[in-house]
Structure 1
């Protein structure tokens, strides 16, 4: 497929963008580290080298109270300019272009000094903000101008004003959070005044040559959010004040509707961007769940946007744009929307990387260099750890043979593709298969390897993964008892009444798979594309009758799913609850017989009637070959599930394999 629109250049002010691909703003979590700016410089330089048309940094606060938290990034005086210049110089040396995003968190700040237009506490924050006085408001507008001038001094190609997703400017715009009765609230003109004044101030600070982007919420997805007409009015207001580019934001962080997780259909929000594009004369960028060049080209062709903003796809593959330009789009390392390496760590106080690309965020640390002495290396196991180790070792010049008992690469990772919403996961083993071939790694698939197959190698990497933990309970050998791997692989049929033992990630995946195809997204989550009501919301449609009665249970007294991903776990729980899945905590399993699972709960005996009992109680490392390999007297490395089986963790497995491959 060709991509004439995606690859067409665009001039904005004095700056020429070579294509229509933007890397959208994303907080990376290492901004405040001792080497944070050096890491940022390496991160953005690699993506500039990869051909992306324009990048936007993570949010930089104009004032301390507007920062993410006590260690948030602030640019309020000249002392920070030199740090930021490290980023711009690195990007410009690679021929790239980059904007600095100015972001005041408002009531989303994670410290006690937070401020907002009104003293309305956010449901996702422990603190109630202080209502800003008029003096506070005027000082904040001046601070935006000052930070924009500092961004110019640091060498940025412009700035982006963050006015979406429930942060301070968005809080002024929406009746949900702006209860003021003075000139900064009330009617739409009053609620948009803060946005207009900031846009005007920043435009003046940038001068005539640099880019001013405004990230505007195209649909708020919260009660008392903006109406469709108000969103358009906001877009026209910033256009009138000198905005050059509108970037799309979708939803507020407190919205109870998923916007970017793998459960969200690709391109789910382009309708909201298209509505705004039709109303303004400046370029508009679409965002959220646009991960393939085919989709990007199609939406540009339909006239729904002028550019496409992607963040996580550029974590997964920094060479995304250059591969599109070189006609190699099919070898892009696709983002799978899992959030496990990027957003989950960020919202838990960590730093971002990428499950399918462990080098993301570690560019200066994960450096690959040719080996000085090529070795013959056997990697046993073609799951995440084995694939990533074999790839890095092969790229460095080792003679690598990768053994996998299954007919294809992927290991336990392949089970995810049977879970509705996770079909994209199958793209990762496909990508690794291509890259392994390009690196000269020999693949031997389709049969269990024995020690007799491993003669003549210099080193061994045991990446044989895990085996599901067996159930130790009277009746564990009953014909109705099956393993999660047997269900997700389709090897065992499942009845109409299902008991799932275990409420971790695997248990949730099994329940989702047994419910079958997902509901239409808009109907299930109450999204109104006609935008007839503020926030773009409507009542969710009644759920369809579930194909099975499912009861999940766990021994732990914690809430079921407590260990799921920070940004996706709540989605899975909401789906299962909507579909009538029952969840029990603090149970004691007693036995299994023809009736089902006998258990004790709250000191009373119960029977969960079942036709099928699915065991999801953990894993054990699979190390069958370890004694024989150790006896050969050659170095043996244990990685992934074969080393640590506490939980299935593809993020750790990909990273561990990459580290070892770079070190062998």
Structure 2
């Protein structure tokens, strides 16, 4: 069923005209009025911990401020005894925040990542239209790492993690996740997994017809980005209401998809037929569709840990695939409270 505007709720004006942006900033950093701009923890306006929690009647939390609601616990964090050495493998949000929390306790920390810069998958978010502000938090994290005592080993230098592992008192595995594979063996067209679409040269060669399989956050972000640079996009998902999981962000995603003429097919399974042809199966019919490129966003799996990290504590997507909020919370809590 093509995407319809019939069910989109109309925005309502608040009678009390609450400035929600200011409230969110206070959740991200309660001390922001007394800080200079470069010291303030930046609110990225993701709405995952605040507005989404409000709608689902859960406790209010904050993606960039994991201590929200746990102020007493974090006030009792103690410095590490002796001179322990910790290693963190993976410099995504979980690994970075874990390393920072450890460093704040006076622990000697080495942070590894095979990429040339820190950030992991989070670095892709800022490239999506409407999410440019996500960069502010990563910049803030980078500046904190640079001003800390954390030893960074990136790119080729990260290979030494296996040799160094035996010398650490504790090792954390924050290796992130990898895309689930979508069966595409019979197709002759490019099939691009997950966030790799942002680096795919095929998508920079004029307008193409693209089918995105999976309308979760990665799939929706891919569809918005693709349509924004001129491609014709069809977005398919097996769920009958794939945008429902976005809660408070649903209207923003619906508006972004509609505004860029993305066709959404809920309750639809995509099956590879062969060559450049796929089958779209919904509860009413099966139709053939020719396309130039397929983007798959059918989920992610925790990355397999190396043998030398078998006893490491897994955090973030490496423990269980989730959101940036969950990864940052896990990293911070492990770093602050691991003995």
With the length of structure 1 as denominator, give the TM-score of the two structures. 0.46
Paired residues, what number? Answer: 324
SS in 1 for 2:183: coil
Hey, what does 1:465 align to over in structure 2?
176
Residue 190 (structure 2) pairs with residue 480 (structure 1)? yes
Q: Deviations over 1:194-218 (max 9, x none)?
A: xxxxxxxxxxxxxxxxxxxxxx54x
| Structure with bigger gyration radius | 1
SS in 2 for 1:561: helix
User: d(CA) in 2 for partners of 1:346 and 1:332?
Assistant: 24
Tell me by how many angstroms 1:603 deviates.
5.3
Residue of 639, 654, 663 corresponding to 2:315: 639
Residue 482 of structure 1 contacts residue 492 of structure 1 at CA under 8 Å; is this kept in 2? Answer: no
Hey, what does 1:510 align to over in structure 2?
222
Tell me by how many angstroms 1:651 deviates.
0.6
Hey, what does 2:308 align to over in structure 1?
628
User: d(CA) in 2 for partners of 1:415 and 1:583?
Assistant: 23
Tell me by how many angstroms 1:428 deviates.
1.5
Residue of 67, 76, 88 corresponding to 1:359: 67
Residue 474 of structure 1 contacts residue 590 of structure 1 at CA under 8 Å; is this kept in 2? Answer: no
User: In the TM superposition, what are the counterparts of 1:40-51 in structure 2 within 5 Å?
Assistant: none
Tell me by how many angstroms 1:412 deviates.
0.8
Tell me by how many angstroms 1:408 deviates.
1.6
Give 5+ residue unaligned stretches, structure 1: 1-122, 125-163, 171-215, 218-248, 250-286, 290-309, 518-546
Residue 165 of structure 2 contacts residue 308 of structure 2 at CA under 8 Å; is this kept in 1? Answer: no
Residue 300 (structure 2) pairs with residue 651 (structure 1)? no
User: d(CA) in 2 for partners of 1:609 and 1:472?
Assistant: 17
Residue 224 of structure 2 contacts residue 260 of structure 2 at CA under 8 Å; is this kept in 1? Answer: no
Residue 127 (structure 2) pairs with residue 418 (structure 1)? yes
User: In the TM superposition, what are the counterparts of 1:361-400 in structure 2 within 5 Å?
Assistant: 361-367=69-75, 368-400=77-109
Residue of 6, 14, 26 corresponding to 1:314: 26
SS in 1 for 2:238: coil
Tell me by how many angstroms 1:592 deviates.
4.5
User: d(CA) in 1 for partners of 2:172 and 2:201?
Assistant: 29
Comparing 460-469 and 568-577, the one that deviates more: 568-577
User: d(CA) in 2 for partners of 1:579 and 1:471?
Assistant: 26
Hey, what does 2:267 align to over in structure 1?
586
User: In the TM superposition, what are the counterparts of 1:85-484 in structure 2 within 5 Å?
Assistant: 166=14, 170=15, 216-217=16-17, 249=18, 287=19, 289=21, 310-324=22-36, 329-367=37-75, 368-447=77-156, 448-449=158-159, 450-475=161-186, 478-484=188-194
Residue 228 of structure 2 contacts residue 260 of structure 2 at CA under 8 Å; is this kept in 1? Answer: no
Q: Deviations over 1:32-60 (max 9, x none)?
A: xxxxxxxxxxxxxxxxxxxxxxxxxxxxx
Change (3 A) 1:392 1:347: same
User: In the TM superposition, what are the counterparts of 1:504-583 in structure 2 within 5 Å?
Assistant: 504-516=216-228, 547-556=230-239, 558-564=240-246, 566-583=247-264
Aligned CA-pair RMSD = 2.3
Change (3 A) 1:490 1:374: farther
User: d(CA) in 2 for partners of 1:422 and 1:554?
Assistant: 23
Change (3 A) 1:396 1:642: same
Tell me by how many angstroms 1:453 deviates.
4.4
Tell me by how many angstroms 1:440 deviates.
1.2
User: d(CA) in 2 for partners of 1:515 and 1:599?
Assistant: 20
SS in 1 for 2:110: strand
Give 5+ residue unaligned stretches, structure 2: 1-8
Q: Deviations over 1:615-653 (max 9, x none)?
A: 00010111231x2223xxxx51001101112xx411110
Residue 286 (structure 2) pairs with residue 610 (structure 1)? no
Residue 554 of structure 1 contacts residue 587 of structure 1 at CA under 8 Å; is this kept in 2? Answer: yes
Residue 596 of structure 1 contacts residue 613 of structure 1 at CA under 8 Å; is this kept in 2? Answer: no
Hey, what does 2:4 align to over in structure 1?
none
Change (3 A) 1:362 1:397: same
With the length of structure 2 as denominator, give the TM-score of the two structures. 0.88
Tell me by how many angstroms 1:350 deviates.
1.0
